[in-house]
Every structure is written in structure tokens, then in C-alpha cells.
Structure 1
Amino acid sequence: MKAVQVKAFGGPEVLTVVDLPAPRPAAGQVLIETEAAGVGGVDTLLRSGALADFGYEPGRVLGNEVAGVVSAVGDGVDASWVGRRVWAFTGMDGGYAEQVVASAETLVPLPAGVSAVDAVTLGTSGTVAHFALRHVHFARGERVLVRGAAGGIGVLTVQLAARGGAAAVAVTTSSAERGERLRELGATHVLDRAGGGAADAPASYDVIVDIVAGADLPSFFARLAPKGRMVVVGAMGGWPPADFGKEMIASFQKSMTFATFSADTVSAPDQRAALADLFAAADRGEVKAVVHEVLPLAQAAEAHQKMEAGEVFGRIALTHD
């Protein structure tokens, strides 16, 4: 079968299409004929070596989510899964391939109106967006800022915050054109990357969801209202400055909260339930899968180039003939 390996840490050019033996499902696993694989920001970090300290090594196949049809099951798995269209989480790797194995615990059936491409566009991004908002106890009527809103997690955070009754959903993004597209998804105020450019935007926020991190993170933390909560779910702009703690101490009397979030801390049953609800909402037209582009598996390097150039609005999906 065809798969895309990280031959060595580096730029997009290190992604190599290879022929590998078809995997076989072990106990508790299923085999999926891949129809689409999601391309996320974490993939670019794994490929570059930025997350090598977390145990990712060269020679592995990228991709943590796929959608397709179950073709076989391992021991202990209900055979009725065979032939069903599903979304699945593959872990840190494995998804950029024509066939993948995944734990049956991660499977979420797809409604008829949700395509494989839609599923991998909504999947991990929707999981992070949903549980990040829950992590900071977002409530109806609160003011929300989404930093780095044009990516996969960002566009879904905007939609879920608006759907959840936010009084305001401000976003940071790189262009007026992207800002208009975010307004169509529920944003009420569009800011530039530094957080300016909108005179009518709220002066402070109850909730900030940050997908960027980096050197400018402290200036956004300072925008929290008293008892405000900030959660960092990504680090596409790099790690926050080492002395960030000074900002937190300076705002001690405002009872503000800073948190990080990873979907790895959410149980499989809770993730499945949240995704089933999200897919059902997409099937009803209440949530939109924002697909930037669909590329063949062999063009995974091009997908990564576009991700790192900041060209992607929503998500890219990989498919194969």
C-alpha cells in the first residue's frame, strides 16, 4: 500500500511516498480503507522534529485521523463494524496511508450527509475546540477571543462559541478577506494578528482560546477580564517566553486563570460522544466543515508547504485513487 513517511526531520521535502505492507488489525483494532486523512498543524511539528522530545522518531507515517470504510476487525471487536463508514483516531501516526489500523474505541460512525473529507476536517479540530471551551467553563453571554482563528481548530472554535451563545466572538487573523470569512462563521469582531484594528472590539474578554502561543502570548493574557480564563491549545507561533510568569503574578488580584489543553486528557467515550454530536450537527447544516483543499496522498509535502506558508483557511485533506 502507499503511505507517506517522515524519512528524516526537516522541511516538507522530507515527506516520502513509500510502499509498505498492508497492516493487520490486532486485538481491539479495526482495519480501515482510507478515503481521507486530515492534515493538521501537529503534523508539521512532528515532521520538523519540534516534538522529538515527545517520542516521535523519523521513519514513521504521519497523520492522526482518517475516515473510510472498515474492512476487517481484530479479535474482540464486533464484526458488525465491517462495511461501515467511520472516523477514527490513529494516534501520533499512521493516517497518511491507503490502509490504517485504529483502536475500535476511537471509531465514530458517519452520518450519510457527512463525507470522509468533512469528517477529517471536523474530527480532531472539533474535539479540541469543544473540550477547550469546556475546559475554561465557557458560558452563554460571555465574550470570547480566538487567537489564530483561520486554522482548523480556530474556525470550529468560532462556530461553537457563536452557537453556544457568546455575546461577542473576536478573532485574530492575517487579512480582511479571512476576517470576512470568519464573520460568516460567527465572528463579531475581526482583529489583526497583534490584536488591534477593530475600534469597536471588547476591551477585555471572559475567555481566550489561543492556538498560536509564541512571544506575544503575554499581551493577550493581559486582555482577560477579571475572573477571565485563557487556554492555549497550540503553539504554531512557538513556545511562550520563559518569563511569562511575571505577567501572571502582575494580574494576581484579578483572579485570572491560565491553562493548557490537550485532547489526550479526554476519555475515549467522551471524545466519541462529542464527535457524534458534532457530526450530527454538521449533517443538519448547523456546523460547517471548512475545507481549504483536497489533495492526493502523493502531494502531502505540498499540503505541508501551504500549512507553513499560512495559506490554509480551515483544513486540508488527503485522499487517494
Structure 2
Amino acid sequence: MAANFVIPAKMKAWVYREHGNAADVLGLDPELELPEVQEGQVLVKVLAAALNPIDTHRVTGVFQLPGFSLPAVPGYDLAGIVVKVDRKVKELKVGDEVFGIADEHGTLAEYTAVKESSLALKPKKLSFEESASLPLTIQTAHGGLERAGLCPGMSLLVLGGAGGVGTLTIQLGKEVFGAARVAATCSTGKLDLLKSLGADLAIDYTKVNFEDLPEKFDVVYDAVGK
């Protein structure tokens, strides 16, 4: 039997009503209206959320999606519990623990409405915080390796291996795409981290110019450049 949740009329959420530096324009609204659940959406009680560079770009106004309007709540990645479902939702039910990407409403809020197709059941072995850290970064890492055509037996060089996308690219390249050798760049203090993630060669970019390495690689994944 599905669980029952008491859903309030108002919620706390971080909101910006104009574009600018986040420290200047982002503020906590203690009584924001909850988003309406539209066709094919579910209402999620957000237990964890993550931020990405695109969130900063949206707050500053550098990047905007069609139909965007202010005020707005930042954030795409989330993990939480389904507390309400539209009648056309087929797979998810109230009480399900989920993670995914919010499509219209931000995730730095107590509740957000999300398309069923943008969510998946949260892996039981992962916490809500761990699950919320994955969606955009792992989609970026996986999509890049797929487009680059990384295949079993090939070699991979990851530039910026210690960042969110970089750490996942190392693991996916090794464990999912079957790279025979993975190298990655990072600063001095993060060399051991990269090795623990599966990098065969961790390169300290403060001391070594990767372009001067005699070794060549089949695929280079740049998680640093613009």
C-alpha cells in the first residue's frame, strides 16, 4: 500500500528574482508556493540536491532555456521521495525513493515537480546525497565517452580528473567502457584519489605538461576547457 504524506501549501526554497552574482541575488523564501503537478509529473520531497556550473550560468543570466521566467529556483540534480503522482504516471508511486534531473522547477527547495521520465529509482546501496550528486555529471561523462567511441582495449586521457565529471569519466572508462589504460591530470594533492578511482597514471599538471608525454592516447576527454 502506498504511503500517505502530508503536503503543505507553502515551502522553503532558495529563489532568485533577478540575474546577478548568486551571493547578491539568491535568497531563502520561507513561503514559496509548491509547484503544481502537471501531466506525467510527480511531486518529490527533496532530501538532497546538487549544484553544477550550469546553475551558476543560469543565475547570472549567461545561459537561459526557452520559456524561462523569473523568479526561479536553481538546481537540476535531486534525490528524494515521491509524495504525489499525476494519474498518467505509470511506473512510479507515492513512497518511492528516486533520483534524477528536474526539468522545469529547481531543486533547492523542499519540494519539486518532475517528469516521471526524468527520474529513476534510487539505488539502495547509495545515500540520498550520493544519488543527488550523480545525474548531470554521470550523464555528461557517459555521453562524452559514448560520442568519442571509447571501446574495450583503447586508452583514455582525462583532463581534470579530480572534478565531478572527471572522477566519473575515469570510473566509467575503466569499468563500463573497458579502457585498457586510463590516465588523468590533477593537482598534487589529488594524485592518490585518481589512483583509487582506477587511473593507471595520475599526472600532476603543476609539474608535468601532458602534451609533452611520449605516450599517446586513443581518446582525450577534456573536463577543463570551455
Give the structure-2-normalised TM-score: 0.84
Q: What pairs with 1:56-75 in structure 2 (closer than 5 Å)? A: 58-75=70-87
Q: Give the aligned partner of residue 94 of structure 1.
A: 106
Q: Which amino acid aligns with 1:15?
A: L
1:9 CA drift (Å): 2.3
Counterpart mapping for 1:164-179 below 5 A: 164-173=177-186, 175-179=187-191
Residue 195 of structure 1 deviates from its aligned partner by 9.0
Partner residue, 2:134: 122
Quote how far apart the aligned CAs of 1:24 are. 2.4
Count matched residues. Answer: 213
Q: Is the 8 A contact 2:184 2:201 kept in 1?
A: yes
Matched, 1:10 2:23: no
Asked whether the 8 Å contact 1:190–1:197 carries over to 2, the reply is: no
- For residues 160 and 72 of structure 2, the distance between their equivalents in structure 1, rounded to whole angstroms, comes to 29
Q: Which residue of 1 aligns with 2:170?
A: 158
Deviation at residue 136 of structure 1 after TM alignment: 1.1
Show structure 1 runs of 5+ residues with no match: 214-234, 236-321
Corresponding residue SS for 1:118: helix
Q: Tell me how far 1:6 sits from its aligned partner.
A: 2.5
Which structure ranks higher in relative contact order (CA pairs < 8 Å, sequence separation ≥ 6)?
A: 1
- Name the structure 1 match of 2:5: none
Aligned partner of 2:215 in structure 1 is 203
1:54 offset after TM fit, Å? 6.3
* Cα distance in 2 between the residues matched to 1:80 and 1:43: 27
Q: What's the secondary structure of 1:83's corresponding residue?
A: coil
Residue aligning to 1:148: 160
Q: After superposition, where does 1:237-256 map in structure 2 within 5 Å? A: none
Counting aligned pairs with the same residue, the percent is 32
* Matched-pair contact (CA < 8 Å) for 1:26–1:75: no
Post-superposition CA distance 1:14-45 (Å, at most 9, x none): 22111311222111100001111111121122
CA distance in 2, matches of 1:28, 1:101: 10
**Where do residues 1-321 of structure 1 align in structure 2 (5 Å cutoff)?**
1-13=11-23, 14-18=25-29, 19-52=31-64, 58-78=70-90, 81-91=93-103, 93-163=105-175, 164-173=177-186, 175-193=187-205, 196-197=208-209, 201=213, 203-213=215-225, 235=226
Q: TM-score, normalised by structure 1?
A: 0.60
